[in-house]
Amino acid sequence: MTDEHRVAAAATPLADDPIVAEVRATREALAAEFNFDLARIVEDLRRVEAVEQARGRRIVAPPKSRTRYDSSTGAPRRS
């Protein structure tokens, strides 16, 4: 990233970023399609994953977090 790009990125609030706007619009449309029911959204996501796996795509799980959190405060614990 050039210095010119860094300055432009820093000067543009996320609310005005067209990519962020597109992601938010897509999220809103998806949620509305399932009547904002999280269980139905997750069910559909799992269905899509199963279809993609059947087509030979590999679904990769995110890495497990190594950070431990305090259950009472939610703050990261120091080891």
Q: Which domain holds residue 14?
A: 3-54
pLDDT of residue 25: 96
Establish if 21 belongs to a structural domain.
yes
Asked whether the predicted pLDDT for residue 47 surpasses 60, the reply is: yes
pLDDT of residue 66: 74
Establish if 70 belongs to a structural domain.
no
- Percent of the chain, pLDDT > 70? 78
- Which tops the pLDDT comparison, 27 or 5? 27
Establish if 69 belongs to a structural domain.
no
| Whole-number Å distance between alpha carbons of 18 and 40 | 28
Establish if 19 belongs to a structural domain.
yes
Task: Give the number of domains in the chain.
Answer: 1
Establish if 77 belongs to a structural domain.
no
How confident is residue 65, by pLDDT bands cut at 50, 70 and 90?
Answer: confident
- Which tops the pLDDT comparison, 78 or 79? 78
Establish if 23 belongs to a structural domain.
yes
A 10 A CB-CB count for 20 gives 13
